[in-house]
Copies of this chain bind each other. A is one copy, B any other.
């Protein structure tokens, strides 16, 4: 029986997990696809490096082209990361008719359309389940499970590092900087955490989810992105008092054909299923017109969870090979992308102000909201023990982003407002 031969690009965390699963689950994988699956060649940067896994030296190569040009290799599994160079490799492999499984969110968010078009042209599969939310099969869920529905909202906790930090800040009342250091020591955050904490990683994943969920070609530039580096423990505490948890949410919304996608720290009502997703776990909440509320929860990263998704894609590629239908299941976006303007983006807001502690201030502030047609759900005023300002926390009803920006701009010119301390989107 002919075995299916795989070329693995990269033997880092996820690559190691892929080797482990393919080798340890041989019997089960055979049960699934009816052929042995063999990792024929592995591209590494340094063959002499010590590894967490025993791999025969002959199987490793430092020459990526040896694998891409290998005549016996059917499928390339790309878990090396990187964007421009990696794209060159992937396109070259597709050119040679090899199928691709990738865990590379950066590549798919930035060049997914081009890669998928090339794949279609060459009759090849490009599967990328592992690129979003690690072990959660959310890409299959959006593209197959909900193929019958019109999805109107996707909200994701899709970055484990920031969710770990926010969870710790919430549970322990700790400061951002302290928890970040701890997360770095535990390996949950990178030495340079920028991509995670500033929301870029989440933005790339949301680009992929929005494209799939809304059938329109969403690109990274379409997203408004804000990270968690300015979130304070006080804000989290105030949120909790009002019944909210702060989460870094990716939010993709559609109304008729108008869409908006953003990433920002968000006050999530405690009764919402996303509010209790803690630690490094990920979750994606999907609202469909017909299905209603659903949520998919699991590990967002890690060697074996991410490799589970990679190998599930590998199984799908092999099944397609056996049926001769590779490259024919991918769904190109068939809708024109129309973005909402700031006038059309609506949400509730949580606003924390430091104001002069004197009569008439609250009336003046609420008057500004009224002027820009932002109605208020709740208002909490309290003395601020640490300085002579009073604190006012306001939660609005649904307001347009444009109106809210006008309110904030107006506030900047008001003498009684000492500081606009925080502005959060509110969900749930």
Contacts and interface: CB of A to CB of B under 8 A. Distances in A.
Nearest to A282: B294
A146 B304 contact: no
A325 B323 CA distance: 7
Interface in A66-94: none
A298 B292 contact: yes
Contacts of A147: 32, 311-312, 315-316
How many copies of this chain?
2
Contacts of A150: 25, 28
A17 B289 CA distance: 12
Contact of A294 (B31, B135, B335): B135
Nearest to A302: B292
A140 to B, nearest CB: 5
A419 to B, nearest CB: 37
A307 B28 CA distance: 33
A25, A144, A297, most chain B CB atoms within 10 A: A144
Interface string A284-321: 00001111111111110010110111111011100100
Interface residues of A, number: 57
A299 B294 contact: yes
Contacts of A276: 273, 276
Contacts of A314: 148
A29 interface: yes
B140 A312 contact: no
Contacts of A175: none
A297 B298 contact: no
A289 B150 CA distance: 34
A20 B149 CA distance: 11
A421 interface: no
Interface string A319-335: 10001010011010011
Interface of A: 17, 20-21, 25, 28-29, 31-32, 129, 135-137, 140-141, 144-150, 215, 273, 276, 281, 288-299, 302, 304-305, 307-312, 314-316, 319, 323, 325, 328-329, 331, 334-335
Given A21-B148, A32-B331, A273-B276, 8 more contacts: A135-B291, A147-B312, A289-B304, A291-B305, A292-B302, A294-B297, A295-B297, A323-B323
